[in-house]
Every structure is written in structure tokens, then in C-alpha cells.
Structure 1
Amino acid sequence: MSRTTPPRPVDVTAILPQLAPLARPAIRLHPRPGSPSPHDSSVGGPLLWPADEPWPHCNESHNQMDDLYEAYEVYASQDYEWHDGPNPMVPVAQLYVRDIPLLRPPGQADLLQVLWCPFEHEPDNKPPTALFWRSSTEVTGHLAAPPGPFAVEYDGYIPRPCVLAPEPITEYPNPMELSKELQQQLKDWSNWQAAGSAVDSSWAPYPDSFYDSQLSVAPGWKAGGWPPWGLTDPIACSCIACGAKMAPLLTIASKEWDSSNTGWVPYEDQALTSLDDARVANPPKVQVSRGNHLQLYVCPESPDHPHTSLIQ
């Protein structure tokens, strides 16, 4: 299985050469329903988890009345029990470096595993996450039946198992991360007219939106790249251990595209009947904070320093 993002309508660095030094590599993951094994990169699939290593749990309370009110319908339709105590975490993604080579693993590690608690916790109302780096060759026996969660706030926090089709791309910053001078140039339609017929004239009233939605940050699940700001202005993320500027690691998305950015839809999916249908645009059926994205950041100085996350 493969997925191919169409080339961007124009080479943005030919229009605005100042953007060239800001290019960043990213890898779109393109999760699609499947039956991944513990030896595959996946979203929501089984992890290559050592049989003799304790499964991670979230130790916060999961029996609050507000949660009960909001999650009633989910619990009523599933076999979860209320549990005030440690809640087994849920596999979100497993990424092998052979598939996602821009990952920067520590030491001899070649595998990143991401889990979360399927509950939004205060103060940021987002699911707490846990990252594990490991060497796959050192796992001699994996856990065949990991524990499932006792409590789930929303079914959108239980990813549907998906195989991946990693695809390298190049991204440029969200307009809000650019200098005032560059932002003004993005708003100048004459700059885009220089690209000729490649730019649809319907963008003339909103030239900066053309850059934002079609040329800068790819939607959907991805590793690396630039952050997908929009819910908030850009937020500086500094490592609490050393103060270093943290780097984007993984974007966990509530959809791969919507009506505003269908230009990013892979060729292989363009024949689907309704591109904006959530069943098509969100194969893992993940809903982060009612339709937003969760951005994970790590310290470039040390993988032992705590990671952080932001809702966008």
C-alpha cells in the first residue's frame, strides 16, 4: 500500500525565496484500516511490548462526575467499567525507524511507541501521553494480551488499528510563524500572479490563505515537520529540564483532510465518493479534544528529558 501526495500547485520558494531556509522534512503517515502485527509500524495496532515489562497505567482519577455526565453514552454502549484508580494506557502509534527515518532515536533504539490515557485530564483537557524508545532486537518475547482500559471518556480515544504508508514531504511554516514582512508578501496577490495559471484566481481575495492551506503545513498524521497552529497562536515549547527549544515529533490528527485542504488528498484516495466524509478522512476514527490535533514535542538535547504536548 502506498499513498502519494500531489505536488504543490507552485514552488513556493520560487515565489518567495526567503522561505527556502525554512523548509523542513516531514513524513505523512497515511494510516488506513488493516491488521498490523507487533512487527509493523501502525496506528492503534499491537505493540512489540516485552512480556516481562509492566504495562503503563495512568494513575489519575477516572471517576469524576463531570466525566460521567459527558461520557455516559459511550459507557452505556461499551463494556467498560467505572474505575477510580490506575487505568491501563492505550496504544496510539508504533513507529519503526526503518519506516520513519527522520526519527532521532537514542542509542541503539529503532522503535518508538506512543500510548495515552483515553481520558482528557486537567489542566489542559487533553489525554496524557507516554513515549517509549526501545530496540526491537532486544524484545525476545512480546506481550500477547496487554490489559485494556477500565475507563474511556470517548470512543475517539481508542484508535482503530491501521497500517501506515509513510511518505516523505517538505513543509513550510504556518503564516503565524513568519516575519511581518513575509506575512505581508503572502497577502500580495501580485506575488502569486507571477506563478501564472498554476494559482486559481478564486484565491485572489485571500492570497495568504492559499499559502496556508495549500503550500505550508500538511494535514493529518505525520512525523516531524512544522506545527499546525490555528486553534492558538504559536506557543514556544521549551524543555523543562534544560530550556532547549523542543522539536515536533508527532502530530496525532482527528482527520487527514477537510474541505479546506483537499489539495493534499493522496492520488489513491481522490476517487472516493465523499472526500469530506469523516469515515473517509479519518480512518483511525480518532477524535482529539472534539476534533482537534495533539502535537507531541521532544527535547533535541536528550531523549531522557520529558516530552510535552499541545492541542491544536
Structure 2
Amino acid sequence: MAQLYLRDIPLLRPPGQADLLQVLWCPYDHDPDHKPSTALFWRSAAEVVDILATPPEPYEVNHSGYLPEPCVLAPEAITEYPNSLDLSPQMRLMVEDWNRWQAAGASVDSSYADYPREFYDIHLADAPGWKVGGWPPWGRTDPNPRYCPVCDVQMVPLLTIASFEWDGGERHSWAPCEEQAAAYAANAAGSCCGQDPSQPTKVEVGSTDTIRSISARPSPSIRTPT
């Protein structure tokens, strides 16, 4: 599914002397969420030998979106903020105050005057797409902290596997600069950005959903566009 090197993502923070994270998944629906099951392996790249020129493909999958298209990652660090549901009540009130946005000189479209919190959640919070670390998206559920069953430390997102790098709505503002023209063109054509460039992996989880792997260790905010 994914292979991430410490040399490409310096803030990956692997355990011990590991410098490679390999993410595998089974392309079948598994309970309780009816999504592919994932397994993460930390390894030393120097110990990975006899690499197959052509990786084997599963003979059967539950859904065509469970078979990734081979891609080369181009990680880039981005700044994102927590979803408004993760903010304290005081901070949430500040985000909802249109006068504060105007006083700060923020370039916010006046159409958001009645709902500035929507602007925050769409354009500034929890970036969509495949990413390492960062903030989790919410919507179908309220924030739900997860704790390590071994050390009882609150866990944080390690890797997000997303169906789309951005959607066909306003969130195409998250598209990389070099993809902005294609993102806006696809949106104007009335499509959900299609398979390319917003879905280079061709992975589709559930109903264009995401899968998150979480870790008891702090993780960086690195997006991994392909």
C-alpha cells in the first residue's frame, strides 16, 4: 500500500534504528468498519534485500478501489490547523467571529460572513488527501480520542489513506500549486476531479472515505501527494 523512508520524511520518528515504514493492507472488507485491514511494519532499509521487480498482485479484491495504482510519493510539509470540533469552546467562538477575520486582514470571501467557521474548516483545517501525521478530519462522528492499550498514552494520527487528494468542491484549494489549474478545470467541468490528478492512487475507501493509522508516538504534519 505505502512505503515511506525516513530520508524523505525526516520527522517520521520511527522506533529504534528503523528508517522505513511499510504499510500493507488486505483488499477485502473487514469488520467492524467494512474496510480493508491494515498492518504497519517498521524496518531498516539496509536489511531489505532481494526486492521484486514486479510486486505480486492479489488474485481477487472486494472492490477495484482497493487495488492501488503504483505511484512515486513527493512529500511536502504543509501547515494545517485542527478541525473546529477539536478547538476549545473559547477558540471556536473566535473562529466564528467574522469581525476578527476582518480585523486580521484575512483574505476571506464575504460569502462566508455568516459562516466564518465553514471557511476555517474548508480551507485551513485538517488537510484532505494522503498525509503523515497532521490533524484528523471529523464529520461523521465527534472527536473521539484513542488511547494506547499498552501505555495508555493518547494516540495521534500516523498515516491517513484517503480516497481523494481534494474533492470537487471548495476544498480543491488544497491542491498543490502545480495542480491548481487542473483542479479548477475538473471542478468547472462538473466532475469530482476524476482519477487524475486528485486520485492518482485510484484508491477509494468505502464511500470516498479515509482510513487512519494511529500511533502512541508524536507524528509530523507531512502531506504525501503523488
For the aligned pair, the TM-score class normalised by the smaller chain equals 0.7 to 0.9
Aligned residues: 210
CA displacement at 1:156 relative to structure 2: 0.4
Asked whether 1:283 is paired with 2:200, we answer yes
CA distance in 1, matches of 2:160, 2:48: 27
Q: What is the match of residue 215 of structure 1? A: 124
- More divergent stretch after superposition (109-118 vs 137-146): 137-146
Asked whether 1:265 is paired with 2:175, we answer yes
Question: What percentage of residue pairs aligned between the two structures are identical?
Answer: 56
For 1:207, give the aligned amino acid.
Answer: P
CA distance in 2, matches of 1:141, 1:135: 14
CA displacement at 1:111 relative to structure 2: 0.6
Deviations 1:93-121 (A, max 9, x none): 00011111111111211110001011111
Instruction: Give the root-mean-square deviation of aligned CA atoms.
Output: 1.6
Query: 1:160-175 alignment to 2 at 5 Å?
Result: 160-175=69-84
CA distance in 1, matches of 2:199, 2:56: 26
CA displacement at 1:299 relative to structure 2: 2.0
Contact 1:157 1:287 in 2 (8 A): yes
Query: 1:118-137 alignment to 2 at 5 Å?
Result: 118-137=27-46
CA distance in 1, matches of 2:106, 2:134: 28
SS in structure 2 at match of 1:196: coil
CA distance in 1, matches of 2:132, 2:107: 29
Which of 1 and 2 has greater Rg? 1
Q: What is the match of residue 155 of structure 2? A: 246
Contact 1:173 1:216 in 2 (8 A): yes
Asked whether 1:292 is paired with 2:209, we answer yes
Contact 1:254 1:293 in 2 (8 A): yes
TM-score (norm. length: structure 2): 0.87
CA displacement at 1:144 relative to structure 2: 4.3
For 2:210, give the aligned amino acid.
Answer: H
CA displacement at 1:123 relative to structure 2: 1.6
Q: What is the match of residue 11 of structure 1? A: none
Flag structure 2 segments of 5+ consecutive residues without an equivalent.
219-226
For 1:299, give the aligned amino acid.
Answer: A
For 1:176, give the aligned amino acid.
Answer: L
Contact 1:255 1:278 in 2 (8 A): no
